Chains A and B, each alone.
Chain A
Amino acid sequence: MSILIKKPGILTTVQDGGRFGYRELGVNPSGPMDGFAARIANLLLGNANNSAVIKPLFPAVEIEFLSDTQFAICGAEFGACLDGKQIRNWTSHNAVEGQTLSFHRPERGSRGYVAIVGGIGSERWLDSSSSTQVAAGERFAIGRSLVQLNELSLSPWMLPRYGRFPTVRVTRGPEFELLDEAAVNHFLSENYTISNGSNRMGARLEGSPISCEGIGEMPSSAVTFGTIQLLPSGMPVVLMADHQTTGGYPRIATVAVVDLPLLGQLSAGDGVSFKLIEMSEAMELLQQREKDIEQLKCGVSIFGRTVNAK
């Protein structure tokens, strides 16, 4: 029961839910840039939330299935094809031995996710396989599938509103209070561009600088995925999945968890603007999303498996 990497694509990695419990050693949790897409890909197959998935960028990986199995693709639209025939995104699919999954056009977003039933058996370090890079010719063990699955798609109303210029909701960061009113208004009205220096560690933003007179550095303290730091240059940087664990720049805001996938799908040259919300609203949004996901899980367990599969 395995898959073969026919072409590695660019910077293709394995990601799972992340590596927790080691921040005190300076080890960040890593994990998917778009945790929602990775999670949905798993849930459409009835996998555990945090099973390992393959994350293609574009030009993307090419995968041959060496046994009959099921897989799901979510996240960026890369023109996915199974043996050359176009297949739907945000959907689970059946594959038979010898079929090849490939991606042909970057249409929307920058990070796709491929989940396979039972998860991808990959090398683990500190209880996680996150950010293991894949190579051509490599084989990964996959779970055993006993039954054929019904092919399921995510309900359209649950699809994230990916765009190249999203407005992302943020809550106040620990040092928000250091900003004066003008600086806050500036931050919330600027249309920022994602700069070339952006990567899995952080999205560096370009725009007109925020005046940070009187805002110095502070003793290093914790940061997390979504923390927005204000650099001495007056430019914000949004810390992403492979962020460092601590930092000394003012943490002016934090991206709401439900909007992190919008940022995770951006590439250099795309844009972003920010809208301030209260923490209580961010909590409600998160709670609602979890309810939706619970419903989805329920639906998959009812409709996902065909009785008397061949």
Chain B
Amino acid sequence: MIDDVRIIPLSESSVVVEFGRTISLKLNQKAIALAKSLNSSPFLGMIEAAPAYASTSVFFDVSRIQTEFPHIDPHQFVSDQIRTCLQVLVELDDQRPETIEIAFAVDEGEFDLAFVAERTKMSKSDVIELFTASEYRVFMLGFLPGFPYMGILDERLALPRRDVPRTRVPVGSVAVAGQQVGIYPQDSPGGWHIIGKTSARMFDPDNLALLEPGMNVRFLAE
């Protein structure tokens, strides 16, 4: 699991462990496995690790490492710790991920479903049928608390982001951009195409995030 891995400084107190630069199940499994392993047995000075699509970020208290090991380059120390972890990391058996069903109301003209249909040369009902035909993997959470980056959306539905982002995308909006699918956990600016709205809460202050990386989501059109 350590071939082709790059460990790149992000700041004095963080590095990015990069497995690749594409969106793929294989790379994402590695990113999640490394974050889980590091978080369950953190090295000296480590604060937290978080998975992204094809990389894992690792944050640490650099002053603590400098104090404990004054003659070692802190990034070298961290890289060694991460490489040791990678050597013993077994790839997760991700064959049967947990699947969560999320019901949503199809956009009835307020947002972008008609635009997506026009651009993809499909009817609105074909767009929704194609969209709901697949399960989507939660690759990562980011952007906002609990925002799931999901995929991989059928190529036929892939469109670039809106030229002008909306200043306010309402909470619960189910949206697509490129081959990604997302759900807005709160009102926020956003440039993705909104095709529906769910009442499922992606994040609340007590129970935190509904979804976690590695889960699958199946959308049900109401």
Contacts and interface: CB of A to CB of B under 8 A. Distances in A.
A binds B: yes
Interface of A: 20-27, 125, 171-174, 218-227, 244-247, 251, 254, 256-257, 279-280, 282-283, 286-287, 290
B144 A26 contact: yes
B53 A220 contact: yes
B22 interface: yes
Nearest to A27: B145
Given A21-B47, A254-B11, 8 more contacts: A24-B50, A220-B53, A221-B52, A221-B55, A246-B142, A246-B143, A279-B75, A282-B12
B100 to A, nearest CB: 16
Contacts of B13: 257
Contact of A226 (B11, B48, B74): B11
B99 interface: no
A25 B10 contact: no
A246 B12 contact: no
A117 to B, nearest CB: 24
A88 to B, nearest CB: 28
Interface in B1-35: 8-14, 16, 18, 21-23, 35
Nearest to B23: A219
Contact of B48 (A23, A171, A251, A279): A23
* Chain A contact residues, majority secondary structure: mixed
Contacts of B215: none
Contacts, number: 126
Interface string B46-66: 011111111101010011001
Nearest to A175: B8
Given A20-B59, A245-B143, A227 B53 contact: no
Nearest to A279: B9
B18 A244 contact: no
Interface stretch (B84-92, B120-128, B168-176, B205-213): B205-213
A220 B14 contact: no
Contacts of B147: 26
Contact of A26 (B8, B21, B47, B145): B145
B146 interface: yes
Nearest to A177: B8
Contacts of B209: 25-26
Contacts of B62: 283, 286
A210 B90 CA distance: 43
B182 to A, nearest CB: 10
A26 B141 contact: yes
Most buried by B among A172, A221, A224, A225: A221
Contacts of A172: 9
